[in-house]
Amino acid sequence: MPVTTGVHTIGFSASGATASLSITVQDSGLGIDEITEGLVFKLSAKGRSNNETNPAIWTHGNVTTTFNNFTWNDKCGWNNGALVIPAGSSIDISYAPLSGTPVQNGRTFEIDFETTNIEDETADILNLVDTNTNAGINIKPNTAKLQSAGGTSINTRFRDGDRLHLAFIIN
């Protein structure tokens, strides 16, 4: 769908028949932009390439990423606006999003990801769990869990092959 103002043509096809429709997108005047107030860091794969001078640099301010066992090809590295992390590879991000006082101050953690060709359903995709309190966020190939230090948890399941946007909001 068009996201810029102006005249756009949208094509439709079904059972061999095609049709096009010209639409005009006007500015809504709402000024909807990404919220950056209070943003600690954002890492985006958009526009990244394995052919960069150093594809293993992914930073935002003081937050850095360490890439482990990456071969920087279409099956391991940057690919079509995504970071592909195959079995045997991993990343470490130098930030603990649940440190400090997330319950008192609030915290939002968002991640876009997709899992494919799952070999081990118990493998951690993302593990931000404090080993002393068991509080934190844990994402496995088809489940995500947010757990408090008191043991209360929220769980969700998802399918292999679906691209997801998960948001964990602690308020």
Nearest 5°: phi and psi at 77? 140, -155
Say whether 19 sits in a helix, a strand or coil: strand
What pairing do the DSSP bridges indicate for beta strands 107-114 and 163-170?
A: antiparallel
CB atoms near residue 137 (< 10 Å): 19
* Chain CA centroid to CA 78, Å: 14
Given a cut of 80, whether residue 46 has pLDDT beyond it is yes
Q: Which neighbouring-strand residues pair with 113?
A: 164
Determine how β-strand 163-170 pairs with β-strand 153-157: unpaired
CA distance 43 to 64: 9
8 Å CB contact between 140 and 120? no
Instruction: Work out whether strand 6-14 and strand 107-114 pair parallel, antiparallel, or are unpaired.
Output: unpaired
What would the pLDDT profile of 105-156 be if each residue is shown by its tens digit?
888 888 888 888 888 889 888 888 888 888 888 999 899 999 888 889 999 9
Residues in Cβ contact with 169 at an 8 Å cutoff, skipping those fewer than 6 apart: 106, 107, 108
Percent of the chain with pLDDT over 70: 98
Enclosing H/E stretch for 103 = helix 102-105
Does residue 100 carry a pLDDT above 90? no
Number of H helices, E strands in the chain: 1, 12
The pLDDT, as a whole number, for residue 127 is: 87
- Which token pair is 51? 């052919």
CB distance 89 to 70 below 8 Å: yes
Q: Is the pTM of this model over 0.75?
A: no
Q: Band of the pLDDT at 3, cuts 50, 70, 90?
A: low
